């Protein structure tokens, strides 16, 4: 995991439209970088829709929202279209960015171990420093909690 106060690792990933996004392109803004396990699953959909619904509030607070998971661009396109997502969802096909950010971890379900994304959100400040990290996120009121944290800064 990236520690608070550390520089956020650089990356370039393509979104649901095939457009590349570089972290450095968002210099001067807060970046809400949230990692989620899988497109179009119940928890991930709830989380994405909460960020979608609060997009204007995040914009007014000087922040952009970027979602990242290991599914490819076709999955991202379908997910974004189905739920009318109004922010980039980024395809980390090889989980390299998930690994850089420490969210690609061993998980266990029904006694079976496998590698996957542990739901985590990083807040990166306009200078590119990690200023907050939410681990093992519960999706309920998470988007609102992130927004409140930004407003309090």
Q: Which of 13, 31, 33, 44 is catalytic?
A: 44
Active site residue 44: yes
Q: What's the pTM?
A: 0.96
Q: Which CATH superfamily is domain 12-152 in?
A: Glutaredoxin (3.40.30.10)
Q: Show me where the domains of the chain are located.
A: 12-152
DSSP state, residue 52? H
CA atoms within 13 A on the CB side of 74: 0
**What are the pLDDT digits (tens) for 111-121?**
999 999 999 99
**What are the pLDDT digits (tens) for 61-113?**
999 999 999 999 999 999 999 999 999 999 999 999 999 999 999 999 899 99
């Amino acid at each position: 995991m990236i520690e608070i106060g550390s520089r956020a690792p650089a990356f370039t990933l393509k979104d649901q439209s095939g457009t590349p996004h570089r972290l450095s392109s968002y210099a001067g803004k807060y970046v809400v970088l949230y990692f989620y396990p899988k497109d179009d699953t119940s928890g991930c959909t709830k989380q994405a829709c909460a960020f979608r619904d609060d997009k204007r509030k995040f914009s007014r607070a000087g922040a952009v929202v970027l979602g990242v998971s290991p599914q490819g661009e076709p999955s991202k396109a379908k997910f974004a279209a189905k739920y009318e997502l109004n922010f980039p969802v980024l395809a980390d096909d090889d989980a390299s960015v998930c690994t850089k950010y420490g969210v690609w971890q061993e998980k266990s379900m029904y006694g079976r171990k496998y590698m996957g994304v542990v739901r985590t959100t990083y807040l990166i400040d306009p200078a590119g420093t990690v200023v907050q990290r939410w681990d093992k996120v519960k999706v309920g009121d998470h988007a609102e909690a992130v927004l409140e944290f930004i407003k309090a800064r």
